[in-house]
Amino acid sequence: MGCGEGWCYKDGGWAQVRDTLASEIAFRISISDQPFTITMHSPGNEVELVHGLLFTEGLITPADIPLRFETEPKDATGCLTGINVLSVSGLRDNPLSSMRNLSSVSSCGLCGKTELGDFPSAPFHQQGVEIDPDVIPGLFSTMQQHQRDFAASGGTHAAAAFDQNGKLLSLKEDIGRHNAVDKVVGHLLLAGEIERAVILCVSGRISYEIVSKTAAAGIPVLASVSAPSDLAVSTAMEHGMTVLAFCRQNKFTVYANPGRLKGLTAQTIN
């Protein structure tokens, strides 16, 4: 688990807090030394993950279990970075190179990639923006009011872009939280309003993928009703993005680059 230090805004005042964040790391799966996919996951149970993923993708059968594999080196925190499956009988007549890698699915924006790499980061829109913290609860209230699919099914995520004054620019829903973000960004681009977007609100947790998509769109503030991962916070810090999480019940916590919030312009997180 990771640790996140931030500033909690509640009842008109700020208090510094220290929270536990779910860890998120990149994990590489190779088959016979050929890259197959990279997935973002919580450290632990990597062997089970590989078996379950390859089985549900139809690449192995019960006869192949247990797989023979070798592990890649661990990272600086002692977490396993990858597994190379030495052989899969079902692929002998169908080399991995002739098969598609895992496509991007609703729950993972990186599931089709074999290298993590650097993501494109656009210059943030409207430099020097200062946001009144009392505006934040209203943004999520507006988003909730427009979540018609969620109201009907309870099974969709939402993303909503707002300008500096809290005006709704775009809201989209999708069963996948990454898809909802992509739809909002696409709508803003098509409408010629991408540079007006200052705050992106999302209904799901803030992961590395969500941070990368927001940075690529040049939106400087990312806010969620849920929790961020430690990798999301450190990535946002590196790229100068402000991250707000647990935005509910008229309070929220700032985990990265708090200087865009009124009352914290001179504050840093120690």
Could you list the active site residues?
A: 108
Give me the helices (H) in the chain, please: 46-56, 136-145, 148-153, 177-191, 208-216, 230-239
Q: What are the sequence ranges of the domains in the chain?
A: 2-22+119-260, 25-98
Residue 47 token pair: 């062997």
- Which of 30, 88, 93 minimizes the C-alpha distance to 60? 88
Percent of the chain with pLDDT over 70: 85
Q: pLDDT tier at 79 (50, 70, 90 boundaries)?
A: confident
Q: Scanning the structure block, which residue is given the tokens 């030495």?
A: 86
The answer, yes or no, to whether residue 184 has pLDDT greater than 80, is: yes
Please give the CATH architecture assigned to the domain spanning 2-22+119-260: 3-Layer(aba) Sandwich (3.40)
CATH number given to 25-98:
3.10.20
Q: pLDDT tier at 267 (50, 70, 90 boundaries)?
A: low
The answer, yes or no, to whether residue 94 has pLDDT greater than 60, is: no
Which of 34-38, 81-85, 225-229 has the weakest average pLDDT?
34-38
The answer, yes or no, to whether residue 119 has pLDDT greater than 70, is: no
Residue 172 token pair: 């989209």
- Which of 163, 122, 127, 124 minimizes the C-alpha distance to 142? 163
Q: pLDDT tier at 148 (50, 70, 90 boundaries)?
A: confident
Is the model's pTM score more than 0.95? Answer: no
How far, in Å, CA of 174 to CA of 183, rounded? 9
The dihedral through the CA atoms of 106, 202, 207, 155 has a sign that is negative
